[in-house]
Structure 1
């Protein structure tokens, strides 16, 4: 092949737009997706609605429909992987503790710190709500009040813990005769914990099952990584549809509430978390540099469970032992929600009370704290916090129609809520590891800000190393067997 042909081929590859895109750091891809989403959303809003038809009852224009479809597909892909991810991650994480002497102590300390951080977060949310009275300063119309179809009450919450079947899957029939399936993340969580404990009880006989679940978890996480790679595109659809459907008017009408939620989350993220790190003798800079990939991915994916593999990876990279990180992070992804289950529902409850003129007393605020600390598992790690909000409202006896007042800006708020959730999950893992003296301090102190691509490359290198080790082991075993056979044959010949 001539030099000119080689040069031409290389030039063609360098001009390939797909190759050029993949070279852009993942963080920049997400940022570009955010900007494009806002721009396309504003364009779609300016285009206005079209004539309503049977196929398009909402009258959405083609651009709004496209953005909605892109965002819906991305969230659907995440949801499709959630049931096996919950089951396999929880079972494997519990099994990973079987060789740890202080497993019960680690689990107890983890839950305790989940509760401590949630208590601090909900207190900040209540304080902001009392100071600003967001519902009294809102311009949102009462016509938008509508009870959510997805609701949570304490009775529903408790009965929902009991699995209706082993898979935690339920079906419902539509008016047209179609059947739709859905899953109950809480029930899957209960099933997973029960199976994990049973595995520990069975002991050695459960080893083949554990090998299967470990292998299956690797496969599901690989599939999830592929979906996560679509996050920049999903961001365009999710944010674009939110802007096109509600515009900036909705944010303006709920400006005080929106500001309260983000100010509360920033206080927790940039004040409370650093104080907790410093009190426990941990570097603030090392933590935020290390956790950044999970925080940014949580912001765009709006799913704690979808971000879970990244959260666990960055936590391990900060020196937390794998046997503990693989327990704490999956548990936190389903129960540790400083954004969705602490700050947001407390402010939302105060907003609804202000809007409807319902006075709240000390007992009501204590109930908000109780619901936030004990009921955070109701959010189940997926996008949105409607179940937790309705659980809080029903506990206080507030109108559930108040949920509809806040739905317009929920996608905008959910980004920040999820980013705070996953950051808090990693924080607790680091703090407990430090307090239990199992944190690799040198690795933590050396934590550096890294990219999505670097983490993937590191994981691939680790997998290749494991594969080579297994291959070398198999080769050595084969050599030993061959030598043993030759020795036996030689001995037989001499005989």
Structure 2
């Protein structure tokens, strides 16, 4: 049995862990709700501990991986002006996909009308945290103390410092060559650490899913079933139409291969509900499995995890229409256009704010005069939808990375078209963790 388990692909292992956790959570919820032994030692004990350790080690590697990867990629550039083109193209694509996402969401919601006839009222009040202005965000991108930025996990500040540090290393020339070799070695070690953590994923995912489905309020989902499935449907359309369409249109790459290679990262994002925590897996996917060069991926993926919020934009679009219909408030065409502009710009303006999805939604509702207490209506189903939104967000990050890499000549199409590319690097033999090149087994083809 153990031998057969070791022969399974990582995707299969993570999927088994996810399904096992989901089924156990639902089973214990229906048969042993409130049982002290189950709740204290299994749900809040083993499942909670396993899931949180997995999340913590994923977050542990984000800062060193982003720092070493960006420095390594930047200092190897021969022409620093490439960064300007790279940044402009990446930002434009992220804003474009966000605008498409919210437009698609409102169009589908208006067509289906999930809030029509609901006549819902809520006594609950929602107080949104104040979002910083775009000017404050731009100023805040530059760290006064890079060590403090790393300690607090401020992704935008880490990106800016890493780029400047990488440019400085490149400009220093020959005296800085030892630093180039050091960061190259560190980057390889970080990617191997990602592989090590990914081998623990099936158990961490099982813990996270087990606890979630034991505690999730399924009745809230049933009461808002139409809203839930409209958001879910638009999230799927965003992946199939927007991302796959842009990928095919701008690069000619096969979207089916892209989706197959996204499976591992998709499941990681779904289980963790955190784009930042999934950065290591997304980077590993776009570089080793899709063939994007480090110079591009080290910039686009961390930036995307911070400002690319297509999944959140979709929730905002559907929620705006739903809340307006539920409270019987008519919105004009100009109001809907204002929602598109506000949500698109807010995806950058609210970067790094805790509870960013609800903060952004509060901004949008205020902009068109809808009651903020409408947010309380949808909070019951938001946890499960947040998991899918995160998976959609990192899929968008990966699609944009492939498009930018192809446009910049930094995508290895042979690796991209090889459906098994990168699979060998997913496995670590813990009995032979340090095999020299001369000791590696020779395989006959």
**Aligned residues of 1:138 and 1:253 also touching (Cα < 8 A):** no
Q: 1:107 to 1:165 in 2, by over 3 A?
A: closer
Out of 261, 269, 294, the residue aligned to residue 298 of structure 1 is 269
In 2, the alpha carbon distance for the partners of 1:68 and 1:237 equals 6
State the Cα distance separating 1:40 from its structure 2 match: 1.9
In 2, the alpha carbon distance for the partners of 1:183 and 1:101 equals 27
Out of 12, 35, 53, the residue aligned to residue 19 of structure 2 is 35
* 2:247 corresponding residue in structure 1: 277
Out of 370, 374, 394, the residue aligned to residue 363 of structure 2 is 394
**Aligned residues of 2:58 and 2:278 also touching (Cα < 8 A):** no
In 2, the alpha carbon distance for the partners of 1:313 and 1:79 equals 15
Residues 1:71 and 2:51 aligned together: yes
TM-score, normalising length: structure 1: 0.72
Residues 1:328 and 2:313 aligned together: no
Larger radius of gyration: 1
* 2:92 corresponding residue in structure 1: 112
Q: 1:127 to 1:245 in 2, by over 3 A?
A: same
* 1:318 corresponding residue in structure 2: 290
Q: 1:200 to 1:458 in 2, by over 3 A?
A: same
Residues 1:343 and 2:323 aligned together: no
Out of 44, 68, 74, the residue aligned to residue 28 of structure 2 is 44
* 1:482 corresponding residue in structure 2: none
In 2, the alpha carbon distance for the partners of 1:90 and 1:400 equals 40
Q: 1:260 to 1:38 in 2, by over 3 A?
A: same
**Aligned residues of 2:235 and 2:314 also touching (Cα < 8 A):** yes
* 2:203 corresponding residue in structure 1: 233
TM-score, normalising length: structure 2: 0.79
Give the structure, 1 or 2, with the largest relative contact order (CA under 8 Å, sep 6 or more): 2
* 1:266 corresponding residue in structure 2: 236
State the Cα distance separating 1:103 from its structure 2 match: 4.0
State the Cα distance separating 1:264 from its structure 2 match: 0.8
**Aligned residues of 1:45 and 1:247 also touching (Cα < 8 A):** no
* 1:223 corresponding residue in structure 2: 193
Which deviates further from its counterpart, 398-407 or 33-42?
398-407
- Structure 1: unaligned runs, 5 residues or longer: 1-14, 52-58, 171-180, 470-495
State the Cα distance separating 1:259 from its structure 2 match: 0.9
State the Cα distance separating 1:267 from its structure 2 match: 0.7
**Aligned residues of 1:394 and 1:400 also touching (Cα < 8 A):** no
* 1:246 corresponding residue in structure 2: 216
Q: 1:265 to 1:35 in 2, by over 3 A?
A: same
**Aligned residues of 2:119 and 2:326 also touching (Cα < 8 A):** no
State the Cα distance separating 1:428 from its structure 2 match: 1.8
Q: 1:133 to 1:191 in 2, by over 3 A?
A: farther
Q: 1:441 to 1:157 in 2, by over 3 A?
A: closer
In 1, the alpha carbon distance for the partners of 2:161 and 2:81 equals 24
Which deviates further from its counterpart, 273-282 or 189-198?
189-198
State the Cα distance separating 1:105 from its structure 2 match: 2.3
SS in 2 for 1:304: coil
Which deviates further from its counterpart, 206-215 or 71-80?
206-215
Alignment of 1:422-437 (within 5 A): 422-437=394-409
**Aligned residues of 1:37 and 1:235 also touching (Cα < 8 A):** yes
1:289-332 CA distance string (max 9 Å, x none): 34443334333343334433443344344343443334333333
In 1, the alpha carbon distance for the partners of 2:51 and 2:373 equals 26
1:435-464 CA distance string (max 9 Å, x none): 4455444554x33156x753425999xx99
